[in-house]
Amino acid sequence: MVNIDQINFENKRVVIRVDFNVPLDDNFNITDDTRMRAALPTINKVLNDNGMVVLMSHLGRPKKNPDPKYSIKPIIKHLEELLGRPVQFATDCMKAADQVAALKPGEVLVLENLRFYAEEEGKPRGVEKGEEGYDDAKKAVKASQKDFTKILAGYGEYYINDAFGTAHRAHASTALIADYFDANHKMYGYLMGKEVAAVNKVMNEIQHPFTAIMGGSKVSTKIEIIENLLTKVDNLILCGGMTYTFKKALGGKIGNSICEDDKLDLALDILAKAKEKGVNLVLAIDCVVGDKFGNDANTQVVDPMNIPEGWEGMDIGPKTRELFANVIKGSKTILWNGPCGVFEFDTFAQGSKAIAEAIAAATKEGGAFSLIGGGDSVACINKFGLADQVSYVSTGGGALLEAIEGKELPGIAAIKK
């Protein structure tokens, strides 16, 4: 495997998998271009070397070809602004060979949405798993996926994967394509490289004490992560909605708080495992409850083991803020996934804000490495304006979570092969 900085791409065609799956409004205006900006260093590296760039991405979940609602064309103008040069567009990702061949050094071509073809994901269309004909349809799409992948690979002498957000998918453009390039002709882009390095720091090159803060709404969506983290962390702070499943399992009264009744045994099992492994599992000792699920709810601070009827646990209380902040501030490696309250309502955002501030302080003053990511955590740290005061904010939601579960991501494995 080579490093992108080792290569001079002069006069070379480079096919780059980017994540341009940006949100668009009803008029096809980009509402958040973070993902496009994140890919710029890699694209500019190839262009500054006088190479030729072929960009490929998916956008949304199209079900047919073409599917104008999911065309990549509307983003071309903005990409031209970001790159400060014209950008060409291929209206069919399978019929771009002539345009690719005509590219001159410093030119950029963007392919239409890869997912217009079922072969990108390798999943049959129009027939669901379990339905008659599914197995045959799957075989057929898998067979034609080889040709699809080969055509994409033929667009470049080099392949760069800079789409961390889809690295957990074994799709044609994210994983299978890498087989067509030898170890000297495939590599991570800068964004992918940074993400992989950040994950490594919290999964493999851990500086202790290591504290993970897992929040969010449900324990069921985080089981595998929690189990993997129990083998690595010194402190595990479990917060957010899942708090109340634990408190109920421990015999608490939780009022109207969110709870997964079928996960009470699992919660007890997690507590036992933490004890067995010597992990300091930290739960809230007080909480802010509301009399309804809204920003204008009446509030009070109570014991999470004894929440009054009609009230719902929505955030951690002041004693817990202090407890969590102290654990965080004593850490050298920090991972945060999931808010500790309904942070979307300002009334219940104080706990998540305190966590964000403690992480920023541990990073700045304590020299800790801090990684924030997955789902709402990014929106949360952005809300408090602290994203630039932590070590790394991941761009990959599902991909980051699977990496923390300890899974090898196909998009990463394919480059390393």
Give the binding site for ligand AMP (CB under 6 A).
Answer: 215-218, 221, 240-241, 258, 313-314, 338-339, 341-344, 375-376
From 122, 375, 396, 411, the catalytic residue = 375
Tokens of 86: 């014209």
From 35, 115, 169, 247, the catalytic residue = 35
Whole-number minimum distance, CB 377 to ligand AMP, in Å?
7
Is 398 tagged catalytic? yes
Whole-number minimum distance, CB 375 to ligand AMP, in Å?
4
Whole-number minimum distance, CB 231 to ligand AMP, in Å?
22
Choose between 279 and 314: whose C-beta lies nearer to ligand AMP.
314
Choose between 14 and 267: whose C-beta lies nearer to ligand AMP.
267
Is 201 tagged catalytic? no
Our measurement of the distance from residue 188's CA atom to the centroid of its chain's CA atoms, rounded to an integer in Å, reads 17
What is the spatial distance between Cα 54 and Cα 14, in angstroms, rounded to a whole number?
6
Choose between 189 and 241: whose C-beta lies nearer to ligand AMP.
241
| CA 268 vs CA 274, 277, 312, 342: distances in Å | 10, 14, 22, 24
Whole-number minimum distance, CB 245 to ligand AMP, in Å?
11
Whole-number minimum distance, CB 344 to ligand AMP, in Å?
5
From 138, 218, 273, 407, the catalytic residue = 218
Burial class from Cβ neighbours inside 10 Å (0-12, 13-18, 19+) for residue 265 reads exposed
Choose between 314 and 386: whose C-beta lies nearer to ligand AMP.
314
Whole-number minimum distance, CB 352 to ligand AMP, in Å?
8
Whole-number minimum distance, CB 57 to ligand AMP, in Å?
24
CB closest to ligand AMP, residue no: 216
Choose between 202 and 225: whose C-beta lies nearer to ligand AMP.
225
Is 374 tagged catalytic? no
Choose between 257 and 331: whose C-beta lies nearer to ligand AMP.
257
> Over the chain, what HEC string results?
CCCHHHCCCCCCEEEEECCCCCCECCCCCECCCHHHHHHHHHHHHHHHCCCEEEEECCCCCCCCCCCHHHCCHHHHHHHHHHHCCCCEEECCCCCCHHHHHHCCCCCEEEECCHHHCHHHHCCCCCCCCCCCCHHHHHHHHHHHHHHHHHHHHCCCCEEEECCHHHCCCCCCCCCHHHHHCCCCCEEECHHHHHHHHHHHHHHCCCCCCEEEEECCCCCHHHHHHHHHHCCCCCEEEECHHHHHHHHHHCCCECCCCCCCHHHHHHHHHHHHHHHHHCCEEECCCCEEEECCCCCCCCEEEECCCECCCCCEEEEECHHHHHHHHHHHHCCCEEEEECCCCCCCCHHHCHHHHHHHHHHHHHHHCCCCEEEECCCHHHHHHHHCCCHHHCCEECCCHHHHHHHHCCCCCHHHHHHHC
With CA atoms as reference, report the closest residue to 107 among 237, 245, 11.
Answer: 11
Choose between 118 and 307: whose C-beta lies nearer to ligand AMP.
307
What is the spatial distance between Cα 291 and Cα 245, in angstroms, rounded to a whole number?
19
Q: Are the C-beta atoms of residues 92 and 105 closer than 8 Å to each other?
A: no
Whole-number minimum distance, CB 215 to ligand AMP, in Å?
6
Is 218 tagged catalytic? yes
Choose between 307 and 358: whose C-beta lies nearer to ligand AMP.
307
**Which residues belong to the active site?**
35, 218, 375, 398
